[in-house]
Chain A
Amino acid sequence: MNIKEEIKQALYEVIDPELGINIVDLGLIYHVYLDDATNDITVHMTLTTPGCPMASSIKQGVQLRLEQIKSIGKVTVNITFEPPWTPGRMSEKGRMMLQQR
Chain B
Amino acid sequence: MLQGTRIKAQTNVALPFTFIIYALFAFLFAQLIILLQTDVFMSGIFRIPPIWMASHLLVLGFALMVVFGAMYQLVPVALLTPIYSERLGFVQLGVTLVGVTMLAIFLGIAPQYALYGGIITVIGVSLFLLNMFLTILQQKNKNIITAFVIAALLSLFVTIVCGLLLVINIVTGFLRVHDPLLFSHMTFGLVGTFSLIIFAFSYQLVPMFSLAHGHKNQWAKTACILYVSGMMTTVVSFWFSNENMLLFLIGNGLLLLGFCAFLADIYDMLKNRLRKRLDKSFSFSILAICFGFVCHVFAFGLAALQITSVRTWGILIAAYTMTWIIFSILGYLNKIVPVLWWTHKYAEQIGKEKVPTLQEMTNEQLNTILFLLFIISFFLFIVGLLLTLKGVAVFAQFIFTLTAFTYVASLLRVFSK
Contact at B208–A49, with CB atoms within 8 Å? yes
- What are the residues of chain A within 8 A of B359 when measuring CB–CB? 20, 101
**What are the interface flags for A75-101 relative to B under an 8 Å C-beta threshold, 1 for contact and 0 otherwise?**
111111010001100000000001101
The docked-state distance in angstroms from the alpha carbon of A52 to that of B80 is 10
The interface-forming segment of B148-156, B220-228, B349-357 is: B349-357
Contact at A60–B352, with CB atoms within 8 Å? no
Would you call A34 an interface residue if the criterion is a C-beta within 8 Å of the partner chain's C-beta atoms? no
Q: What is the CB-to-nearest-CB distance from A58 to chain B, in angstroms, rounded to a whole number?
A: 7
Contact at B342–A17, with CB atoms within 8 Å? yes
Would you call A3 an interface residue if the criterion is a C-beta within 8 Å of the partner chain's C-beta atoms? no
**What are the interface flags for A8-32 relative to B under an 8 Å C-beta threshold, 1 for contact and 0 otherwise?**
0000011101111000000000000
DSSP class of A's interface residues: helix, strand, loop or mixed? mixed
- What are the residues of chain B within 8 A of A58 when measuring CB–CB? 350
- What are the residues of chain B within 8 A of A7 when measuring CB–CB? none
Contact at A57–B347, with CB atoms within 8 Å? yes
Determine the residue in chain B with the shortest Cβ distance to A59.
B7
Would you call A72 an interface residue if the criterion is a C-beta within 8 Å of the partner chain's C-beta atoms? no
- Given A49-B208, A76-B5, answer yes or no on A18-B352 (Cβ-Cβ < 8 Å): no
Contact at B351–A61, with CB atoms within 8 Å? yes
The docked-state distance in angstroms from the alpha carbon of A65 to that of B351 is 4
- What are the residues of chain A within 8 A of B208 when measuring CB–CB? 18, 48-49, 51-52
Determine the residue in chain A with the shortest Cβ distance to B343.
A57
Would you call B235 an interface residue if the criterion is a C-beta within 8 Å of the partner chain's C-beta atoms? no
Contact at A61–B343, with CB atoms within 8 Å? no
Q: What is the CB-to-nearest-CB distance from B354 to chain A, in angstroms, rounded to a whole number?
A: 9
Within 8 A of A (CB), among B199-214: 204, 207-209, 211, 213
Contact at B74–A53, with CB atoms within 8 Å? yes
Task: Choose from A78, A82, A98 the contact partner of B3 (Cβ within 8 Å).
Answer: A78
Determine the residue in chain B with the shortest Cβ distance to A18.
B358
- Given A15-B357, A98-B211, answer yes or no on A61-B350 (Cβ-Cβ < 8 Å): yes
Task: Choose from A51, A76, A79, A87 the contact partner of B77 (Cβ within 8 Å).
Answer: A51
Determine the residue in chain B with the shortest Cβ distance to A100.
B277
- What are the residues of chain A within 8 A of B207 when measuring CB–CB? 49
Q: What is the CB-to-nearest-CB distance from A60 to chain B, in angstroms, rounded to a whole number?
A: 6
- What are the residues of chain B within 8 A of A75 when measuring CB–CB? 5
- What are the residues of chain B within 8 A of A64 when measuring CB–CB? 348, 350-352
Most buried by B among A54, A66, A76: A54
- What are the residues of chain B within 8 A of A80 when measuring CB–CB? 1-2
Would you call B413 an interface residue if the criterion is a C-beta within 8 Å of the partner chain's C-beta atoms? no
Contact at A60–B213, with CB atoms within 8 Å? no
- What are the residues of chain B within 8 A of A76 when measuring CB–CB? 3, 5
The docked-state distance in angstroms from the alpha carbon of A59 to that of B350 is 10
Q: What is the CB-to-nearest-CB distance from B70 to chain A, in angstroms, rounded to a whole number?
A: 10
Q: What is the CB-to-nearest-CB distance from A98 to chain B, in angstroms, rounded to a whole number?
A: 6
The docked-state distance in angstroms from the alpha carbon of A68 to that of B359 is 27
The docked-state distance in angstroms from the alpha carbon of A56 to that of B356 is 17
- What are the residues of chain A within 8 A of B7 when measuring CB–CB? 56, 59-60
Task: Choose from A15, A51, A98 the contact partner of B274 (Cβ within 8 Å).
Answer: A98
Task: Choose from B77, B211, B342, B351 the contact partner of A60 (Cβ within 8 Å).
Answer: B351
The docked-state distance in angstroms from the alpha carbon of A101 to that of B9 is 27
- Given A19-B211, A20-B359, A53-B73, answer yes or no on A68-B2 (Cβ-Cβ < 8 Å): no
The docked-state distance in angstroms from the alpha carbon of A68 to that of B209 is 31
Contact at A48–B211, with CB atoms within 8 Å? yes
Contact at A101–B275, with CB atoms within 8 Å? yes
Would you call B232 an interface residue if the criterion is a C-beta within 8 Å of the partner chain's C-beta atoms? no
The docked-state distance in angstroms from the alpha carbon of A12 to that of B52 is 55
The docked-state distance in angstroms from the alpha carbon of A62 to that of B2 is 14
- What are the residues of chain A within 8 A of B350 when measuring CB–CB? 14-15, 17, 57-58, 60-61, 64-65
Contact at A54–B2, with CB atoms within 8 Å? no
Would you call B216 an interface residue if the criterion is a C-beta within 8 Å of the partner chain's C-beta atoms? no
Would you call B250 an interface residue if the criterion is a C-beta within 8 Å of the partner chain's C-beta atoms? no
Would you call B78 an interface residue if the criterion is a C-beta within 8 Å of the partner chain's C-beta atoms? yes
Interface residues of B (CB under 8 A from A): 1-10, 73-74, 77-80, 204, 207-209, 211, 213, 274-277, 339, 342-343, 346-348, 350-352, 355-359
List 29 interface pairs A-B (beta carbons < 8 Å), by A numbering: A13-B351, A15-B350, A17-B357, A17-B358, A18-B339, A18-B358, A19-B357, A20-B359, A48-B211, A48-B213, A51-B78, A51-B80, A51-B204, A52-B77, A53-B74, A53-B77, A53-B343, A55-B2, A56-B7, A56-B8, A57-B342, A60-B348, A64-B350, A64-B351, A68-B351, A75-B5, A76-B3, A101-B277, A101-B359
List of 10 A-B pairs having minimum Cβ-Cβ separation, nearest first: A65-B351, A64-B351, A61-B350, A61-B351, A56-B7, A20-B357, A79-B2, A57-B347, A80-B1, A51-B78
